[in-house]
Amino acid sequence: MKALSIAWKDLQILVKDRGVILQLFVLPLLFVLVLSGALGQVGKAKPDTRIPLAVVDLDGGDSALNLIDSVDKAGGVRVERYEEAEAMGLLKENDIPRVLIVPQGFSDALAAGTEPSTFGVGAQTLRLISHPEADSRETEAVRLVIDGVAADATLGIQMMAALKQMGDMQAASPGASEAFSAARMQAQALGQFAQAEVQPLVSISQRQPGQSTSSAVGEEMGLSDVAVPGITVVFIFYTAGTVARSIYEEKKIGSFRRLLAAPVSNASLLLGKMIPNFLVGLVQGAVIFAFGLWGLRLLGLTPVSIGQAPLAVVLVLVLVALCSSAFGLVIAALAHTEGQIGGLSTLILWIMALIGGSLIPLFLLEKFLGPLPKIVPHYWANSALVDLMVRGAAFGDVMVEMLVLLAFTALFFVIGLWRFDFD
């Protein structure tokens, strides 16, 4: 109870300091914006680097619309719709490099079981017309995408025709089971096609030989994926200085001596000085993560992901706040003046943040520093958060990191209690 009374008094003092509130809650968000490269991108749409493809739909049927939509979603090609006269005029002037024409009757031809093709003549023929000066490599890439989409449509037509034939044969047989009617089998096949579009059975991950898994993941990480957890760890630990300054102010005005005279143990006294910083660290982490999850989205930027184990993320942040509070006792034990507290805490904490992966991705640091980053708690905090948020790790996958953070907390508290000057 004595520790809670001390903590409550310090919290009341802290919330009245507007400068500290600004430093703890506004400054981290600015750092997130700067490190994620977001300040230069606010209000700007992400450029679409896909190859443009003008499309003229003379059919307007469902099959034509599905094919055009599939080409646009296939990757690498951006569909731009035009009227035929406009498209051909722009193509003639080389204002657009190529045009895909979907002929009239295309959907009816597919419904009749005719396969789509980019060759030959007929209602099912897709015409890809390119300007003589168009980039031949881009044109070939576009043709391959269209051929791939057409091949998928062909496979679907063949399968549906085969199912219909099986149904017809079964209907001609007396006593055929309705459980395997053509309509039911076709409906099931269509459902499988729709599911395969969003959840393919086979996916491909490209990686150069000799490239480590951490490097591959690192290349896929966005700047926000590094900035949000990294800055969260930096500023939660930065609040360690407030513990030392609070104790210094108590000693300066003489109220700390009255606390020593109270019937409370030294450990409980220091614990009471830790609790406000611990609570502020939790709120600080929640604010930064909320900004990363929803604030970046509101600014039109890519938000971070909380991962598959949000409870583990919360527990890591709790341990970081606890470790930061305990480290504040170490600073208070080593520094004896206000200048020493400010200089020592700033120097040590930023060095720890730098080598602990809060400002530079861990997979880059480990290439140059080897195991050195592991000597600071920032490394273990950042490693756990990146594993959870980027790599989709489960709770059990970061147990080692959490236990190490807990060990650092115990070590800092013991050192602070041992070296602290209670006189």
Integer angstrom CA distances of residue 229 from 288, 292, 334, 361, 410: 9, 9, 29, 11, 23
pLDDT in tens, 69-94: 888 887 788 899 999 999 999 998 88
The CA distance from 421 to 423, in Å, is 6
Mean pLDDT value across residues 143-161: 69
Q: Which residue has the higher pLDDT, 42 or 15?
A: 15
- Lowest-confidence segment of 62-71, 342-351, 389-398 by average pLDDT: 342-351
- Token pair recorded at residue 318: 């709790």
pLDDT band at 374 (very low <50, low <70, confident <90, very high): very high
* Own/partner pairs, 393-400, CB within 8 angstroms, 24+ separation: 393/307, 393/308, 393/309, 393/312, 394/308, 394/309, 394/312, 395/309, 395/311, 395/312, 398/312, 398/316
Architecture of domain 51-165: 3-Layer(aba) Sandwich (3.40)
Distance between CA atoms of 289 and 283, rounded to whole angstroms? 10
Cα–Cα distance measured from residue 123 to residue 357, given in angstroms and rounded to the nearest whole number: 60
Average pLDDT over residues 224-253: 79
Instruction: Provide the residue ranges of all domains of the chain, joining segments of one domain with +.
Output: 2-36+222-419, 51-165
288-347 pLDDT, tens digit each = 898 888 887 787 777 788 888 999 999 999 999 999 989 988 888 887 777 777 777 788
| Confidence tier at 143 by pLDDT (50, 70, 90) | confident
Greater model confidence, 54 or 46:
54
pLDDT confidence of residue 18: 58
Q: Is the pLDDT higher at 398 or at 210?
A: 398
Among 66-70, 125-129, 397-401, the range of highest mean pLDDT: 397-401
